[in-house]
């Protein structure tokens, strides 16, 4: 009770001088992180979070599977074939020789006042058969105008054959024709019940693989590369994807382990970039149509029927109403036309 010292230690607050404060502020200033200037003129991102510009490759504008305006690789390959005089022979669009009428070409069907000709392939609903034909032709030009013979082990048919019989010794010497490629892809699409949009995504992944992996598609690797692209496209695009074991039911001699390894290495070569923007999808769709017209594989045009005209009108009316709602939602007033006010709206097209 009479102790002169307390059991609790007590110390008076330390007075901070101006010298100590300036020294502490200087240490904090030195410890602060400043973004560095990179070689390409960009600043490094602050902290551990990487900026999106640092994740994108510097040459992404040269990649047709990413950039919406860069020309697709198969279009460049087809132009190269035209320059080299390796254009495919004209198929069913070439009329047979006739002694009475002589040699002549079929004329394109043109619309008139009484009849409108239109094909049934749109960017949202492509025609399955014609789309597969065009994709097969694009792969044909890739093989025809390859620059190297390098084959990765996972895509080599000699090391990983699709059939029990294996391949011949000259399996990588002779190029497949367009019909052979079409038959292979068509068999897979019919058995797996895949859509035409999946065929376009398949071509996007195939060209992305060739760009990222810096390889070419060869006679000895085109089947496994195409199979891997179809496998991945069906899983990304379709809601009800086809399992790897289902492809083993189509190609009887394949094993599930082989399909799993093919998918894994395909994804690694793509750097797990499976995103396909809508603008890139539309570019590939219209480039395939251009390729078809250049090789006489034009989509067959049929007379526009009344039922088809009503469906097209309903789709355009739906899109028009949706755009109108977006405009009204932004506070912009839009006046209705007489066609929109009328309850019994009829088609303005003249049908035969």
User: Alpha helices of the chain — where are they, by DSSP H?
Assistant: 18-31, 52-55, 73-83, 128-144, 178-192, 196-213, 222-237, 244-250, 256-269, 278-294, 306-329, 338-341
What average pLDDT score do residues 35-64 get? 53
- Token reading at 204: 């996007």
User: Residue 35 phi/psi, 5° resolution?
Assistant: -65, 135
pLDDT exceeds cutoff 60 at 17: no
Q: Which residue has the higher pLDDT, 123 or 175?
A: 175
Query: 171 pLDDT band (50/70/90 cuts)?
Result: confident
What does the pLDDT read at residue 32?
Answer: 47
What does the pLDDT read at residue 99?
Answer: 37
Q: State pLDDT tens for residues 196-214.
A: 999 999 999 999 999 999 9
**Residue 87, number of CB atoms within 10 A of its CB:** 13
Q: State pLDDT tens for residues 123-162.
A: 888 889 999 999 999 999 999 999 888 899 999 999 998 9
User: Residue 220 phi/psi, 5° resolution?
Assistant: -95, 0
Q: Which residue has the higher pLDDT, 115 or 334?
A: 115
pTM reported for the whole predicted model: 0.68
Q: Dihedral sign, CA of 134, 185, 210, 91?
A: negative
**Residue 65, number of CB atoms within 10 A of its CB:** 26
What does the pLDDT read at residue 65?
Answer: 82
Residue 47 carries which DSSP code?
Answer: S
Q: Which residue has the higher pLDDT, 215 or 41?
A: 215
d(CA 45, CA 38): 10
What average pLDDT score do residues 112-122 get? 73
Burial 196-205 (b: 16+ CB within 10 A, else e): bbbbbbbbbb
Q: State pLDDT tens for residues 246-258.
A: 899 899 889 999 9
d(CA 58, CA 334): 44
What does the pLDDT read at residue 330?
Answer: 64
Angle CA 288–290–292, to nearest 5: 70
pLDDT exceeds cutoff 50 at 180: yes
What does the pLDDT read at residue 38?
Answer: 52
What does the pLDDT read at residue 281?
Answer: 94
The pLDDT mean for the chain works out to 75
Could you tell me which of 174, 274, 195, 176 has the C-alpha nearest to residue 228?
Answer: 274
pLDDT exceeds cutoff 50 at 90: no
What does the pLDDT read at residue 54?
Answer: 47
What does the pLDDT read at residue 61?
Answer: 63
pLDDT exceeds cutoff 90 at 101: no
CA 31 to the chain's CA centroid: 47
Are 59 and 65 in contact by the 8 Å Cβ rule? The answer is no
Residue position matching structure tokens 């399909």: 259
d(CA 242, CA 234): 7
Q: Dihedral sign, CA of 121, 127, 130, 135?
A: positive
Q: Which residue has the higher pLDDT, 320 or 4?
A: 320
User: Alpha helices of 104-152 — where are they, by DSSP H?
Assistant: 128-144
Q: Which residue has the higher pLDDT, 33 or 37?
A: 37
What average pLDDT score do residues 116-128 get? 80
What average pLDDT score do residues 43-47 get? 49
What average pLDDT score do residues 107-121 get? 70
What does the pLDDT read at residue 273?
Answer: 92
Query: 324 pLDDT band (50/70/90 cuts)?
Result: confident
What does the pLDDT read at residue 211?
Answer: 92
Q: Can you state the angle between helices 196-213 and 256-269, rounded to 10 degrees?
A: 60
d(CA 151, CA 163): 19
User: Residue 25 phi/psi, 5° resolution?
Assistant: -65, -35
Burial class (CB in 10 A: 0-12, 13-18, 19+), 288: buried
What does the pLDDT read at residue 92?
Answer: 35
pLDDT exceeds cutoff 90 at 283: yes
Q: Residue 302 belongs to what H/E stretch?
A: strand 302-303
Cα separation of the two ends of the chain:
118
């Amino acid at each position: 009770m009479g102790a002169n010292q307390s059991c609790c230690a007590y110390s008076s607050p330390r007075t901070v001088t101006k010298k100590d404060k300036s020294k502490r502020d200087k240490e904090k200033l030195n410890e602060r992180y400043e973004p560095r200037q990179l070689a390409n003129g960009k600043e490094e991102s602050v902290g551990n979070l990487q900026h999106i510009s640092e994740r994108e490759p510097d040459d992404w504008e040269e990649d047709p599977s990413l950039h919406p305006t860069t020309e697709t690789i198969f279009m460049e390959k087809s132009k190269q074939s035209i320059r080299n005089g390796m254009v495919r022979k004209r198929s069913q669009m070439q009329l047979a020789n006739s002694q009475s009428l002589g040699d002549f070409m079929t004329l394109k069907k043109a619309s008139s006042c009484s009849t409108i000709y239109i094909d049934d392939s749109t960017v949202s609903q492509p025609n399955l058969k014609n789309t597969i034909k065009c994709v097969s032709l694009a792969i044909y030009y890739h093989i025809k105008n390859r620059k190297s013979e390098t084959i990765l082990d996972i895509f080599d048919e000699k090391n990983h054959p699709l059939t029990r019989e294996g391949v011949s010794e000259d399996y990588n010497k002779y190029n497949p024709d367009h019909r052979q490629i079409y038959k292979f892809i068509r068999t897979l699409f019919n058995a797996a019940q895949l859509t035409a949009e999946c065929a376009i995504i398949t071509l996007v992944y195939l060209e992305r693989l060739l760009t990222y992996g810096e390889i070419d598609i060869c006679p000895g690797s085109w089947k496994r590369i195409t199979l891997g692209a179809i496998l991945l496209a069906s899983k990304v695009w379709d809601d009800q994807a086809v399992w790897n074991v289902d492809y083993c039911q189509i190609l009887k001699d394949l094993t599930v382990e082989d399909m799993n390894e093919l998918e894994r290495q395909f994804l690694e070569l793509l750097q797990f970039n499976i995103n396909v923007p809508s603008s890139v999808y539309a570019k590939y769709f219209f480039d395939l149509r251009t390729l078809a017209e250049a090789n006489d594989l034009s989509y067959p045009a049929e007379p526009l029927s009344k039922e088809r005209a009503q469906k097209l009108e309903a789709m355009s009316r739906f899109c028009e109403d949706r755009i109108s709602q977006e405009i009204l939602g932004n506070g912009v007033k839009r006046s209705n036309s007489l066609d929109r006010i009328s309850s019994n709206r009829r088609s303005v097209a003249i049908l035969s």
